[in-house]
Amino acid sequence: MFDFLAGVIAFFYDLWPSYGMAIVLFTLAIMLVLTPLSIKSTRSMIAMQRVQPELKKLQAQYKNDKEALQREMMAFYQANNINPFSSCLPLLLQMPVFIVLFRVLRGLTGKTDSEGFFVPSYLSEDSAMYKALRGSKEMMSWGMDLSHSASHTLSSSGVVKALPFLILVGLVVVTSWFQQRQIQGRNPSAAQANPQQQMIAKIMPFIFVPISFGLPAGVVIYFVVSNGVRIGQQALVTRLEFPDRGTGENGAKPKKSPAAPAAPAAAPKPQVSSGNRAKNRKRKRK
C-alpha cells in the first residue's frame, strides 16, 4: 500500500514537478474515486435534517422507554429509506488514506545519509521524484518544507518562517467551518431543533487546529484540498436537491396566497339625451 500510494504521488510529480501540486493532484484523484459515496453521504445528511422534527417527536413520545425508542427510530429510518450511518462512510474510507499518506511522507523524508540528504523509501530509484528528493535536504514547495509541521517550524525558525504553515492551518479551520455552515444552512429549522448538532458544528472546525498544527504540511495540504472538494460536492448536491430554494421549510417553495377577488366594476351612468337635458333646465328655471 505504501509503495502504491508513493508511486501515485510520483506519477503526479512527473506530470507537475512540484511536491505540493503532486499532493494536490493525488488528493483530487482520491476524492474523485470517493465522489459517489460522498454524494450519497450528503444526500443522507439532507434526509436526516428533513426528518429531525419527526425524530424529536419520537424522542419525546418514548423518552422513558429506550428500547421502544430505538425500535421506532429504526422503523422510521426504514420507512423513509434513510441510513443514519452512511454519512460517516466517506470519512471512514479516507482514514486509511490519511494514515498511509502520513507514513509515506515520513518514509520519503525520514531517512538521510551522512551528509543530510534524503534517502527516500517506497519510490523507484528511476523516478523523477526520487532523484529530486535524493539530492535535497528539504521538501520545499510554496515556501514550506512539506516534511515539517507548523509546530516544528514555529519552534525552530520563528513566526516568519512558520507563517505559510500557519496560513495552511487557518485554511483547514476556514474550510471546515464553511462545510458545517453548508450543512446547517440546508435546513435552519431542523438545525435549531437539534442543539447538539449546533454545538458540534461550532466546535468541530477548531478540533482540527491542534491536529493540523502537529502534522507535516504535506498532510495538511491533503486536508485543505479534500475540504474544498467536499464543499463543492455539497453545493452541487444541495442545488440538485433544492433546485429552487424558496423561503418555505426544507427549501420548499412558499405557498402562494390566493389572489383577492377583483372589485366589481362600477355600474355605467345612464346617458341623458339632449331633449331630456332641455326639459331639466326648464324645470330648474320654474
Give pLDDT, residue 247. 39
Give pLDDT, residue 226. 92
Residues 6+ apart with CB under 8 A from 174: 205
Residues 6+ apart with CB under 8 A from 53: 189, 190, 193
Q: E strands, 14-160, where?
A: 140-141, 144-145
pLDDT, one tens digit per residue, over 182-237 is: 766 655 555 554 556 566 667 777 788 888 999 999 999 999 999 999 899 888 88
Calculate mean pLDDT across residues 53-60. 83
Give the three cell numbers for residue 44: 443522507
Give pLDDT, residue 259. 46
pLDDT, one tens digit per residue, over 3-39 is: 898 999 999 999 999 999 999 999 999 999 888 888 8
pLDDT, one tens digit per residue, over 75-86 is: 888 887 777 766
Distance CA 181, CA 178 (A): 5
Distance CA 41, CA 35 (A): 10
Give pLDDT, residue 261. 47
**Banded pLDDT at 64 (limits 50, 70, 90):** confident
The reported pTM is 0.74
Three-state DSSP state, 224: helix
Statement: residue 133 has pLDDT above 90: yes
**Banded pLDDT at 43 (limits 50, 70, 90):** confident
Counting residues of the chain whose pLDDT is more than 70, the rounded percentage is: 74
Reference 42, options 100, 1, 95, 83; nearest CA is 83
Give the three cell numbers for residue 261: 377577488
Three-state DSSP state, 149: strand
pLDDT, one tens digit per residue, over 90-128 is: 667 778 888 888 899 889 998 999 888 999 999 999 999
Mean pLDDT value across the chain? 79
